[in-house]
A = this chain, B = another copy of it.
Amino acid sequence: MKYVRMAELSETTGIPVPTIKYYMREGLVAPGRPTGRNQADYSDEHVRRLKLVRALVEYGDLSIAVIRDLMARIDNPELEAFDLLGAAQKTVTPRREPRSGPYKDRAEDRLHELLARRGWRIRTGDPAYRTAVGVLATLEEVGREDMLDALDAYADAAEQIAEADLRLLGGDVSDRERAVEIVVIGTSVGDTLIASLRRLAQATVGERLYT
């Protein structure tokens, strides 16, 4: 393996030296191989990890604490790929925790029925589950329960999207850094892409209907 000095590490990754040192202090990137007092060498592994960290900071909109937790999971060989990816996915899940009350109870029943009917996995503590309950409760609270009529169409679409997502990830998830990057960046940036395509499609369908 080829080793380089800090200056070259910075040049290769395009990340300033103080930022690299900050990532190391925060435990996101391992220290280098010591070569003398206050000197160290860095390998390709460092280049790779630094690029992942930067991508997660910039495009995943994640905090340092969340990234540190993810890196620890990548580095833990005993953690199964599926659990690693589940943890990665949870970091980029929007949160809209439901307020307690009758709206929430009805929303939870409704979501549970939908998931059971479709044969989806049900874990009531999952942030995505809590968020979906919160949204359904909100819709009823603001008097827009008519939107619930679209729930099955949305779930159909979500299933197609998820299948495309998993095709991207591919059958081989032994490259754990690549897999985490695809899940975190693909999911966060992908939400924005899907939202903008939804608007573009609405404009097209709407023009057909209303003009």
Contacts and interface: CB of A to CB of B under 8 A. Distances in A.
Interface residues of A, number: 78
A197 B131 CA distance: 9
B186 A147 contact: yes
Contacts of A187: 198-199, 202
A205 to B, nearest CB: 5
Interface in A189-211: 189-207, 209-211
A127 B115 CA distance: 34
A182 B135 contact: no
Given A82-B207, A185-B142, A206-B85, A191 B200 contact: no
A79 interface: no
Interface in A116-130: 119-121, 123, 126-129
Copies in the complex: 2
Contacts of A121: 200, 203-204, 207
A109 interface: no
A40 interface: no
**Majority secondary structure of chain A interface residues (helix, strand, loop or mixed):** helix
A163 to B, nearest CB: 6
Nearest to A160: B157
A165 to B, nearest CB: 6
A168 B150 CA distance: 7
Given A142-B185, A154-B161, A194 B196 contact: no
Given A94-B195, A173-B210, A189-B135, A129 B200 contact: yes
Interface string A65-105: 00000000000000011100110010001101000000000
Interface of A: 55, 58-59, 80-82, 85-86, 89, 93-94, 96, 115, 119-121, 123, 126-129, 131-132, 135-136, 138-139, 142, 144, 146-147, 149-150, 153-168, 171, 173, 181-182, 185-187, 189-207, 209-211
